[in-house]
Amino acid sequence: MKEHRVKGWWFIRLALTIVGKKGIGELTKASKNARKAQEKTLRGFLVAAKETVYGKEHHFEDILTAKSPEELFALYRKWVPINDYEALRPYIDRHKKGESDVLFPGKPKMYATTSGTTNEPKWIPITERYYQEVYKVMNQLWFYTLIMNKPKVFYGKTLSIVGKAIEGAAPDGTLYGSISGISQRDIPGFMEVLHPAPADVFHIPDYKARYYAIMRMGIEQDITLIITANPSTLIEMQNNANEFYDEYVQDIAEGTLSRRLPIPDAIRTALEARLKPNPERAAELRALKAQYGRVLPKHYWPHMQVVNVWFCGNTKIFFEKVKDSFAETCVFHEMGYFATECRPGIVLKSNSPDTVIFGHKVFFEFIHESELESKDPHIYRMDEVQQGERYCMIVTTSAGLYRYNMNDLVEITGFVNEFPTLKLIQKVNGTVNITGEKLHERQFVEAVHAAEKETGNRVAFFIGFADTSQVVYRFYYEFVNADITQEKAENFTRVLDGYLKQYNIEYEAKRSSNRLKEPETARLVKESFEKFKSTCIDQGYRDGQFKLNLLMQDEKRHAMFKELVYMEERKGS
């Protein structure tokens, strides 16, 4: 495939470089004095919200009488408790019903919804200030980092997989949806040429039809950048290509969009407006299949520059499955640590997991991992954390989240001047406990990889569940080699069990005393994760927010995986 540069690529690069350099300059200046940056940030939030319901209840005006940064931080800790979402839900509910000036001045621009710890989802308010200062500014800087790392990243088209911008409305009419969808919808006009499909494509309800439309329009183009948080999405894209490749080719040759798949008429009309016959590209794609048989992204997107995706933590197993499918020109840029509740910073360098946190946009506090169960833990400021140490992060944002516990364990990996860089380790609650063993997800993951090395049997996917009623762990594996027998799988578990005993002394004690039974084993069918994810998406989960812990105590999800084991094992159970 010949390199096809998009119209106006030079202007896109110039514009993003100008705003990016400005953002880098602001970050560099602020990061030279973290304490000063944090004082300015917190004072700004408190001044803006001192007349709100929450501000009056929590003495913001009194806190602002502080004469020094230390006094300001101390008074803030005195009057404002560490919050989880349930503590803030009553205030957010008042906003949802139309009340202004509750958590922040006025009403939110929108809500971003995500799953919570209860049956009710979290409605995370996004204020206009937060959207402009955090998402807009960080996105501009993020795009500039891609240019710094790969100057040709915007020569071709960009394929980004995001959620629906608008999904519904709160009782007062304020819209809710995906912040990633809103961000893409609101990109500058000069960048719209980069996207092969309009945002309507993300509103296709049928999971398979949505991926078909995304890939049919994307595979026709010279894609140089992919943006999608979860690497499992890349797997889904390739699975769709494996299934429908010939139909893509026919559609591209004829300038059509297959009618075999259920795409609503209004969306189909919007997509078809961008299509025209392209027999030359269709011929290229046919030739690739004749040459390679199974056609991969490195074949149909040979000029790929950047894949922006998570590749740390739980997502690493899925990333490992697809990383070799892309062209050698491609680098992988870590999406970095962020959540619906807060985007704390961005990753500046490709092939690095380190997120630089923006102390001039968000106020940060930290609790060391050794004190997570303390009733009165020591609170560390951003300028007090130590490289190599792990903490739970507490954030305050301009969107009304005051001392909000992110419930994430992060590791400080270094510093940009005085601003820390960090990476996500796991959810603080990523611990499963049946009899007091407190087995960490990362211990389970490390034990699986150790068992792979010892046995020589590689797994394509794995997951574990705690069965509290039977006092046993049940481990599920999809092995790379399909000829792995149940006997070999059970031996794999015995080896894994041995490593868990080494990694967790409480687990070893409970297993030795038989308070914790020997873990049980099941083999999963091929593409088990993909089948599981597809079912979840059909049930309403958002693609971009789809997350899966690899060690859980969740009977609903456990039941779904029980349906994905080999039939003879299901009959046996």
Joined together, the tokens standing for residue 149 give 């790392």
With respect to residue 515, please indicate whether it lies within any of the assigned structural domains. Answer: yes
Q: How far apart are CA 254 and CA 250, in angstroms?
A: 6
83: DSSP letter: B
Q: How far apart are CA 303 and CA 328, in angstroms?
A: 9
Joined together, the tokens standing for residue 463 give 């997951």
CB count within 10 Å of CB 384 equals 13
Q: How far apart are CA 503 and CA 149, in angstroms?
A: 38
**Residues 183-193: b if buried by 16+ CB within 10 A, e if exposed:** bbbebeeebeb
What single-letter amino acid sits at 94?
Answer: R
Phi, psi of 109 (to 5 degrees): -65, -40
- For residue 530, what pLDDT is reported? 85
With respect to residue 533, please indicate whether it lies within any of the assigned structural domains. Answer: yes
30 exposure class (CB count in 10 Å sphere: 0-12, 13-18, 19+):
buried
Q: How far apart are CA 239 and CA 527, in angstroms?
A: 9
- For residue 504, what pLDDT is reported? 87
Q: How far apart are CA 277 and CA 283, in angstroms?
A: 12
The string of pLDDT tens digits covering residues 499-553 is 999 988 888 878 887 778 999 999 999 989 888 888 887 776 666 556 678 998 8
- Residues spanned by the domain of 504: 431-572
Q: Coil, strand, or helix at residue 61?
A: helix
Number of domains in the chain: 1
- For residue 571, what pLDDT is reported? 47
CA distances from 525 to 284, 314, 478, 549, 554 (A): 34, 20, 6, 19, 20
420: DSSP letter: E
Q: Coil, strand, or helix at residue 391?
A: strand
Contact assessment for residue 337 and residue 423, using Cβ atoms and an 8 Å cutoff: yes
Joined together, the tokens standing for residue 449 give 């990889």
With respect to residue 291, please indicate whether it lies within any of the assigned structural domains. Answer: no
Q: How far apart are CA 13 and CA 125, in angstroms?
A: 32
With respect to residue 59, please indicate whether it lies within any of the assigned structural domains. Answer: no
Which residue has tokens 């001392």? 403
Joined together, the tokens standing for residue 501 give 């005993």
Joined together, the tokens standing for residue 227 give 């943006």
Which residue has tokens 């989960």? 541
Which residue has tokens 């408190």? 46
Which has the closest alpha carbon to 260: 247, 273, 271? 247
Which has the closest alpha carbon to 157: 331, 7, 264? 7
Joined together, the tokens standing for residue 291 give 């040459």
Contact assessment for residue 61 and residue 76, using Cβ atoms and an 8 Å cutoff: no
With respect to residue 414, please indicate whether it lies within any of the assigned structural domains. Answer: no
Q: Find the DSSP H helices in 118-230.
A: 128-130, 137-149, 179-185, 207-218
Joined together, the tokens standing for residue 534 give 């597809």
**Residue 56 CB contacts under 8 Å (≥ 6 apart), including other chains:** 50
Phi-psi region of 567 (alpha: psi -120 to 50; beta: other; left: phi over 0): alpha
With respect to residue 476, please indicate whether it lies within any of the assigned structural domains. Answer: yes
Residues of the chain with pLDDT under 50: 119, 571-573
Q: How far apart are CA 173 and CA 248, in angstroms?
A: 40
With respect to residue 123, please indicate whether it lies within any of the assigned structural domains. Answer: no
- Where is 506: in which H helix or E strand? helix 505-512
Phi, psi of 432 (to 5 degrees): -110, 140
With respect to residue 135, please indicate whether it lies within any of the assigned structural domains. Answer: no
- Where is 474: in which H helix or E strand? strand 472-479
**Residues 517-526: b if buried by 16+ CB within 10 A, e if exposed:** eebbbbbbee
- For residue 543, what pLDDT is reported? 62
**Residue 22 CB contacts under 8 Å (≥ 6 apart), including other chains:** none
Joined together, the tokens standing for residue 50 give 């001192």
- For residue 4, what pLDDT is reported? 85
55-64 contacts at long range (C-beta below 8 A, 24 or more positions apart) = 58/402
Strands 363-368 and 390-396, by their bridges, are antiparallel
**Residues 455-485: b if buried by 16+ CB within 10 A, e if exposed:** bebebbbbbbbbbeeeebbbbbbbbeeeebe
